[in-house]
């Protein structure tokens, strides 16, 4: 059976510590006990879509360490097809996450095995990618691998969703394959010469469309999202919730967006569902552990 969503991306072990405040340069602060959780933008999106009942597969690499076993088990438990989850010698990817009292987080990523996911791996998984309705991509793996996956997907008639995170410059021929390009305000401003995160989201979105993507979604945190196509710009409001931890909420949003697009929703309708899934995710600690399951009531 073909997959609704194929994720080509990263898998990381998230090392999470909560702090009362983030340290300044040269400063030490005490934090909570360290927690190790499965994460990585690619794995997060695959797990979130899987928990929502999607037919999902992932193309990624872990290391041959204990973290790799943890990550594989977490994906499998969410119903994700891990037949293309490859293993490299050496460490798995790791994300060092500090969570402040307001639930916001700061993250440093050590790519590990993610940096060894190659264009050759994409070619070896061509049949998997070509069978997808939507292919979800991020930038925690090498850009040539992302570009190869996007081209393979589009050539087969699949829809490409690129989450430009972490922010990086990407060539125009990759942007032109995105439908949509998913960014937050900081990532949007990064792509635009002279862009400023404080610019009106509609202005950012309109300028991003001029760079070539077929559509754009700007995530706005508690304010929801903004959807931009050649036909116009529309705002999608988010339900109001009390946030506990925003780690991985953007990945939950993107996963839900991809799944609804794969099932035939238009972009605005998919985004309306995705903001509810993202709002549900911030109510719990961690990334994957906070994602709602199929049938679970979502905030309204």
> CATH code at 177?
3.40.1190.20
Q: Is there a domain that residue 29 lies in?
A: no
Q: Is 68 annotated as a binding residue?
A: no
* Contact yes or no for 282/290 (Cβ under 8 A): yes
Q: Is there a domain that residue 101 lies in?
A: no
Q: Is there a domain that residue 223 lies in?
A: yes
**∠ Cα 178 135 291 (to 5°):** 110
Q: Is 73 annotated as a binding residue?
A: no
Q: Is there a domain that residue 295 lies in?
A: no
Which domain range does residue 171 map to? 5-10+40-92+112-290
Q: Is there a domain that residue 298 lies in?
A: no
Name the phi and psi angles at 210, rounded to 5: -70, -15
Q: Is there a domain that residue 195 lies in?
A: yes
Q: Is 140 annotated as a binding residue?
A: yes
Q: Is there a domain that residue 221 lies in?
A: yes
Rounded CA separation 251/44 (Å): 6
* Sites in the chain below the pLDDT cut of 70: 1
Q: How many domains does the chain have?
A: 1
- The DSSP line for the chain is ---SEEEES--EEEEEEEBSS---TT----B---EEEEE-HHHHHHHHHHHTT--EEEEEEEESSHHHHHHHHHHHHTT-B-TTEEEESSPPEEEEEEE-TTS-EEEEEE-GGGGG--HHHHHHTHHHHHT-SEEEE-SSS-HHHHHHHHHHHHHTT-EEEEE--S-----HHHHTTEEEEEEEHHHHHHHSTT--TTS-HHHHHHHHHTTS-S-EEEE-GGG-EEEEETTEEEEEPPPP---S--TTHHHHHHHHHHHHHHTT--HHHHHHHHHHHHHHHTTSSSSGGGPPPTT-----
Q: Is 66 annotated as a binding residue?
A: no
Q: What is the pLDDT of residue 99?
A: 87
Name the phi and psi angles at 280, rounded to 5: -65, -35
Rounded CA separation 258/250 (Å): 12
Q: Which residues are catalytic?
A: 251
* Contact yes or no for 288/73 (Cβ under 8 A): no
Q: What is the pLDDT of residue 246?
A: 86
82 - beta bridge partners? Answer: none
Q: What is the pLDDT of residue 103?
A: 78
Q: Is 232 annotated as a binding residue?
A: no
Rounded CA separation 122/114 (Å): 13
Q: Is 163 annotated as a binding residue?
A: no
Q: Is there a domain that residue 32 lies in?
A: no
- CA 40 from chain centre, in angstroms, equals 8
Rounded CA separation 85/100 (Å): 33
pTM of structure: 0.93
Give the C-alpha distances (Å, rounded to integers) separating 155 from 13, 58, 160.
33, 19, 11
């Amino acid at each position: 059976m073909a997959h609704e969503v194929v994720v080509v991306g990263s898998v990381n072990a998230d090392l999470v510590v909560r702090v009362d405040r983030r340290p300044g340069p040269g400063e030490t602060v005490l934090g909570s006990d360290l927690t190790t959780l499965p994460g990585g933008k690619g794995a997060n999106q695959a797990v979130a879509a899987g928990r929502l009942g999607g037919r999902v597969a992932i193309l990624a690499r872990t290391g041959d360490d204990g973290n790799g076993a943890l990550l594989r088990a977490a994906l499998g438990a969410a119903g994700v097809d891990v037949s293309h989850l490859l293993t490299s010698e050496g460490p798995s990817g790791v994300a060092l996450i500090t969570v402040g009292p307001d639930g916001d987080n700061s993250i440093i990523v050590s790519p590990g095995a993610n940096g060894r996911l190659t264009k050759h791996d994409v070619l070896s998984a061509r049949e998997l990618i070509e069978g997808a309705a939507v292919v979800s991509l991020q930038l925690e793996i090498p850009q040539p691998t992302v570009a190869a996956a996007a081209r393979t997907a589009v050539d087969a008639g699949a829809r490409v969703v690129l989450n430009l995170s972490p922010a990086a410059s990407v060539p125009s021929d990759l942007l032109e394959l995105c439908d949509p390009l998913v960014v937050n305000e900081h990532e949007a401003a990064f792509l635009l010469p002279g862009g400023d995160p404080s610019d009106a989201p509609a202005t950012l979105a309109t300028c991003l469309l001029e760079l070539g993507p077929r559509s754009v979604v700007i995530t706005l945190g508690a304010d929801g999202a903004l959807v931009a196509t050649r036909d116009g710009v529309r705002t999608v409001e988010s339900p109001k919730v009390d946030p506990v931890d925003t780690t991985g909420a953007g990945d939950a949003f993107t996963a839900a967006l991809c799944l609804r697009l794969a099932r035939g929703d238009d972009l605005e309708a998919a985004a309306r569902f995705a903001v509810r899934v993202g709002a549900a995710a911030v109510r719990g600690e961690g990334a994957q552990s906070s994602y709602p399951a199929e049938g679970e009531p979502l905030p309204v």
